[in-house]
Structure formats: structure tokens, C-alpha cells
Chains A and B, each alone.
Chain A
């Protein structure tokens, strides 16, 4: 029966029409567009490889232990390093995380658990979305107006505030998404055992959503580590260690890897330019490692 039907259909269909032919303009167009999009995809990968190769070639050549423990060189000085910039980046990103992570998670708890349908939650969600589009330089302008102009000095906390403003929306929105993914029956079971809503959140929702939340935090930290614009006129730059002569100079201009790259890339000295490449390599490796750690967390989630 079936084979008969098949042959009947085959009789009615004009089989040559179904053949792929390069004399047919439709087939040619199809192949052409496939080639164009494929080529576009491959071309788009070139910059990444070019950047990575240049980083390892020019930055890797300069890489040595000395870079991590010495201070930046002055104009005609040879050698030197960017130890203080690495410390500065870590301190400022740490400060930013101290501000933005609790802030973001608390707000996310409200958005995901206590008032998901409230007007406040909708407003906060909209504001967080808006903040994701905030140009990083404007975070710097804000921190300049709110911290530098008030305290009267460029400082690490000012840089931290600027970075925190950029990290907050990422932390908040990913934490909210992660908490939404926690199965309702787990929360119901906890309520059934006599937990208050807060206990449900602390003992069930947050531990379950932790991998997702950590992924968001890591993404935010990775992004903040590479940011330059918000630090340019909040933390400025410094040629000295954060701890100088035994006292901690938090309220003084602070060096960072990103600003070091920017400053040194415009200098006419070969030593500084090589150092900018080495610093770029260190910065990219740092950012990639943090990203990969974040990815590992998210893989745990399932």
C-alpha cells in the first residue's frame, strides 16, 4: 500500500525541480548568502585572535617576576613593574564588590521573593535594566561628583563606588533570575515545616540559587576589573604602593592596571609601551580566569 502511494506521489512531483542546481538563480543566491554569512562569522573571530596573539607576543616577551613586585618606571628609567597597579585593581574591585554584592542580593530577594508583582519591584527592575546601559564614563562622573568633590581627593573608595555602580545591575538581575529558578515545591516544603519566609530564603532559596548568583557576581567582577573610564578621574593613578611607610593610603590616588595601560600606551618610551602590553596580558588573563570561574559555577547549577 505504502509503496504504491509513494510512487503515485513521486509521479506527480516534478523531481528535477527539487534538485539542487547551480544554474538555478535560487540555488546560487542561497549558496552565495551562506558563504557571505559564514565568511562574516569567520572574519568576526579574527580580531579576537589578533588581540590574543599580540598580547602573548608583545606582552609575554616582557613578562617577568619583576613586573609584579616593582613600582612603575619614570620617563627614561629602564625596568620597573606594576605591582602597585595590580594591588590597586584588586582593592578597588574588592571594595566595589563589598558594596554591590550585598546591595544587589538584598534587592534581588525583594524582587524575586517578597514582592515580585509589586510596583516597587517593577520600578527597581526597570532601574536596574537602565543601569546596565549606563556608559561607564558616567559612573566615573557620578563618583567624581558624589565622592571626589565631597572628600576633596582622588581615592580608592571613589573608584570603588564608580565600579560598584557598574556591578550592581549585573549582580541584581542575575541573582533575581537565579532565585526565580528555584522550584516552588522546595519553598512550599520549607513553609510546611514551619519556616518563616526569611528562613525559607536563607535556608532554601539562597543556597539553591547560590551557583547562579556567584556566576553573576563573577561576571560583574570580571567586567569591573577591566574598566578604565570610571577610574580615570576617581582613583586617578599613583606611582606608589597603597601601603607606604607603614600607613594605608586609601584616601589617596590609587593605581590600577587599566589606567596604567591607558597612560603608558600614549607615552613615547619603548619601555612603557612594552609594559602596557605586559599589563594588558595580565589584565586579560585576570578577566578570563574570573569569567571561567563564573562559568564553572553556572555549570554546577543543573
Chain B
């Protein structure tokens, strides 16, 4: 114990270099370095594979669709008939149905989603209740879409039928109510779609609203603004880019949603403005026809899949870009 300082350091040093068991600190062996290189290579390969996978998905679907794309060209998009026996295929009604149902879901889901986001971020409720409502809205996203479809068939459609009948009888001259709801149709499909995009829109809008610096709101209050004047004129405009991104991503989800629509939209090949008439969407078309398609129909359906892929990718990439700009602007402004 009473060793001179220099000797103490020497023994300590010896302990480190002499035996590896005495300490856990040692330089990596050649084996370690090899393992390291292999592992680095592996992770690099998998990161690269992620990119290749997306390309593979696009090429695989596109490649299988190529014969039909050459054969039908643009008329596939502009034609309204789907006749397997005459080999006439067109998806205009499906494109219309996809956009119409998604826009309806976006309008309703946007209103509810943004309202919820405002209500849960602007101190209307005590934090515990806010958390409770936030979890309930998020739970909506956990329910599988096929269960919503089932619920739509046996609960929602019977529930809205009286109202739909009344609207059709009294306001039948308005194009939206021009047919009666005979069962599956655009309105129940759009309502279920609304429920499904609601969690996406409200979660991302909530993030956008909470990212607004509190001092902006405080300044507005200091100037004598009421709570809603502060929200409408200061907070919403500041968060608008983020909310817009949320709406875009919600729209993207609505475009690609399949099961609830396949079960509720009615699978009817018609172009109609009426909310109560059956319709069809691209995703539902694929779900309903793929399982029993022959070779030729397969190619045509692949063509429809390419269209769906193009539309959703476009909307999603735009949404992501908008969101990135929103966060960049807010964090830039915050500093």
C-alpha cells in the first residue's frame, strides 16, 4: 500500500497490458476486425436492398402490366366498360370512385381530424382527459379494416338508411341524393373511410399544432385576442403547412384503402354523383377480381394496380415533402 507513486503506476500499467483477464479494455483482435467488416458490409447490403425492393415492386407490377398497357393504352383510363367476355376493359368509373370516396373522406376526416387536434392541443381539457381522448382516437387506427367493413354492413348501413331515404324523397332533385340507398353504396363507404383516415389526420395535425411556439399564442393573448382568435389567426396559419401535409397523407391512405370499400361500396361499374348509388374503386376492383382472374384479366388488373400505385405514390411523396418543409420552417423559425 505504501508504494511510491511511480511504482504504483507501473504495476497498474502491467496489469492492463500483461493479462487480458485483468481488464476488459484491449485493442480489437484481427478476428474482431474481420467480424466488424463483415457486419458493416451486411448492414450496407440490407440498406441497399431497401432501395432495390421498392424498385423491384414497381418493376414487377409494371412489367406484368406492360402487355395490357401496350394493348389498351390510354383508352383504359377513359373507357367506362368492363366486359370480360368482349375483352373490353376501362377503369374510368373506378378512378372516379377512388377519387370521389377519398375526397369525401378527406373533407369529413379533415374537419373532424383538425377539430380533434385543436381540441386536444389548446388546453381545453385537463391533460389526463386529453391523453384519454388521444388514445381513443389512436385506437380507431388499430381496428382492422375488415372489421370496419363488417361493422359497416351490419350496423352503419341499416343506421343511415332512414336518413338516406328521407333525403332522397325530399331532395331527390339534388344530384348527390338522386338515387336511393339500396344497401352498399358510396356514402357508407366514404363514412367508414373517414373513420379510417381520422387517426392519421388528427395525429399529424396534433404534432403540427404542438410544434407552434407557445410564445406566439401568448403574444396573441397579450394583445387581447380571445382563445379562438388566437387559434384561427395565429396558431392555425403557423401550423398550416403541417396540417396540409397531414391531409395529404390522409388522402393517400384513403386512396389505397381496400377492404372496407370492397365490402361497402357495392362493386358497381358506374359513374354517378349520387352519394347513395353503388360505385367501385381501383383497390376494390383488384380485391374483387384478382382471386378468379384468368391470364388476360390478370394483366389488365396489373395495369389498374400500376395506376393505383402511381396515384398513391404521387400523393404520399407530395405529403411527405410538405411535412418536411413544415418541420424545417418551424425549427428554423424557432431558433
Query: Is A145's CB within 8 Å of the partner chain B?
Result: yes
With known contacts A34-B228, A44-B116, A141-B305, A107–B47 Cβ distance under 8 A: yes
A41:B147 contact, CB within 8 angstroms: no
Closest to B202 in A: A44
In this complex, what residue of B is CB-closest to A123? B51
Within 8 A of B (CB), among A81-129: 103, 106-107, 109-111, 113-115, 120-121, 123-124, 127-129
Complex contact B137–A44 (CB within 8 A): yes
Once the chains bind, are B155 and A135 in contact (CB under 8 Å)? no
Query: With A141-B286, A229-B258, A262-B263 in contact, is A194–B198 under 8 Å at CB?
Result: no
Is there contact, CB below 8 Å, between B255 and A135?
yes
B115 x A36 contact (CB < 8 A):
yes
Least CB distance, B310 to chain A, in whole angstroms = 11
> B164 at interface (Cβ–Cβ under 8 A)?
no
Stretch at the interface among B6-14, B34-42, B238-246: B34-42
Complex contacts, B253 vs chain A, CB 8 Å: 133
Q: Is the CB of A133 within 8 A of B50?
A: no
5 contacts between A and B (CB under 8 A): A41-B133, A107-B43, A131-B54, A134-B57, A262-B259
Which residues of the partner chain B approach A276 to less than 8 Å between Cβ atoms?
A: 150
Q: Which residues of A contact B229 (CB under 8 A)?
A: 26, 30
- Given the interface pairs A45-B133, A47-B195, A236-B291, the reply to whether A196 lies near B119 with Cβ below 8 Å is no
Chain A, residue nearest B319 (CB) = A133
- Interface-forming stretch among A72-80, A207-215, A243-251, A282-290? A282-290
**Total contacts A to B, CB within 8 angstroms?**
264
**B40, A137: Cβ atoms closer than 8 Å:** no
Q: Is A50 an interface residue, CB under 8 A from the partner?
A: yes
With an 8 A cutoff between CB atoms, is A291 at the interface?
Answer: yes
Is B43 in contact with A48, judged by CB distance below 8 angstroms?
no
- Complex contact A27–B226 (CB within 8 A): yes
A111 and B47: CB pair below 8 A?
yes
User: Contacts A36-B115, A138-B308, A232-B291 hold; do A114 and B44 have CB atoms under 8 A apart?
Assistant: yes
The answer, among A140, A193, A265, for a CB contact under 8 Å with B24, is A193
CB of A90 to closest CB in B, whole Å? 15
> Which of A54, A111, A192, A228 contacts B144, CB < 8 Å?
A228
Which residues of A are found within 8 Å of B43, using beta-carbon distances? 106-107, 109-110, 113-114
Chain B, range 96-133, C-beta contacts under 8 Å to A = 111-112, 115-116, 118-120, 124, 133
User: In whole Å, how far is B69's beta carbon from the nearest beta carbon of chain A?
Assistant: 15
CA distance A111 to B51 in the complex (A): 12
List of A residues within 8 angstroms of B252 by Cβ: 133
For A121-158 the 0/1 string (1 means CB < 8 A from B) is: 10110011111111111101110111001000000000
Which residue of chain B has the shortest Cβ distance to A103 in the bound complex?
B46
CB within 8 A of A194: which of B27, B63, B153, B316?
Answer: B27
Q: How far is the CA of A51 from the CA of B231 in the complex (A)?
A: 33
Instruction: Give bound CA distance, A51 to B147, whole Å.
Output: 8
- Dominant secondary structure of chain B at its interface with chain A: helix
| In the complex, chain B residues whose CB is within 8 Å of the CB of A18 | 224
**Among residues 178 to 201 in chain B, which have CB atoms less than 8 Å away from a CB atom of chain A?**
195, 198
Q: Does B95 contact A (CB under 8 A)?
A: no
**Most chain-B Cβ atoms within 10 A of its Cβ — which of A124, A129, A137?**
A137
| A37 CA / B125 CA spacing, docked (Å) | 12
Counting contact residues on chain B (CB < 8 A from A), the size range is 35 or more
Query: Which A residues touch B249, using CB under 8 A?
Result: 133
In the assembled complex, the CB of A147 is this many whole angstroms from the nearest CB of chain B, namely 10
Q: Size class of A's contact patch?
A: 35 or more
Minimum C-beta distance from A120 to chain B (A) = 6
- Counting CB contacts under 8 A, is B145 at the interface? yes
**Alpha-carbon gap, A226 to B27, bound state (A):** 49
Q: Are A38 and B46 in contact (CB under 8 A)?
A: no
Partner of B40, one of A41, A193, A194, A198: A198
Within the assembled complex, what's the spacing in Å between the Cα atoms of A221 and B165? 42
Q: Is A133's CB under 8 angstroms from B313's CB?
A: yes
Task: State in angstroms the CA–CA spacing of A40 and B138 once bound together.
Answer: 15
Given A45-B133, A194-B28, verify A135-B228 contact (CB < 8 Å).
Answer: no
Residue of A nearest to B253 (CB): A133
Q: Is B54 a contact of A130 with CB atoms below 8 Å? A: yes
Cβ of A115 and Cβ of B50 under 8 Å apart? no
CA distance A134 to B301 in the complex (A): 17
C-alpha gap A209/B146 in the complex (Å): 34
Chain B 140-157 residues near chain A, CB threshold 8 A = 140, 142-151, 153-155
- A196 to B33, alpha carbons, bound, how many Å? 7
The verdict on A287 contacting B142 (CB below 8 Å), with A107-B46, A196-B35 known, is yes
A266 to chain B, nearest CB (A): 7
Q: Which residues of B contact A30 (CB under 8 A)?
A: 226-229
Decide yes or no whether B60 CB sits under 8 A from chain A.
Answer: yes
Whether B60 pairs with A142 at a CB distance below 8 angstroms is yes
Q: Measured between C-beta atoms, what is the minimum distance from B47 to chain A in Å?
A: 4
Q: Which of B49, B258, B309, B313 lies at the interface centre, i.e. has the most chain A CB atoms within 10 A of its CB?
A: B258
Among B44, B227, B253, B317, max chain A CB count under 10 A is at B44
Give 13 A-B pairs besides A106-B45, A127-B53, A266-B263 with Cβ atoms closer than 8 angstroms. Answer: A33-B231, A37-B118, A45-B133, A106-B43, A120-B47, A129-B320, A133-B252, A134-B256, A135-B257, A136-B258, A141-B302, A165-B53, A265-B153
Asked if A15 is an interface residue, CB under 8 A from chain B, the answer is no
Q: Mark B272-307, 1 if CB is under 8 A from A, else 0.
A: 000000000001001100110000000001100100
Q: Are B44 and A258 in contact (CB under 8 A)?
A: no
Task: Say yes or no for B83: interface residue by CB 8 A criterion.
Answer: no
Q: Does A186 contact B (CB under 8 A)?
A: no
- Check A44 against B198 for contact (C-beta < 8 Å): yes
Task: Report how far A140 CA is from B60 CA in the complex, Å.
Answer: 12
Q: Which of chain B's residues have a CB closer than 8 A to the CB of A58?
A: 154
Residue of B nearest to A259 (CB): B146
Interface contact A197-B40, CB-CB below 8 Å: yes
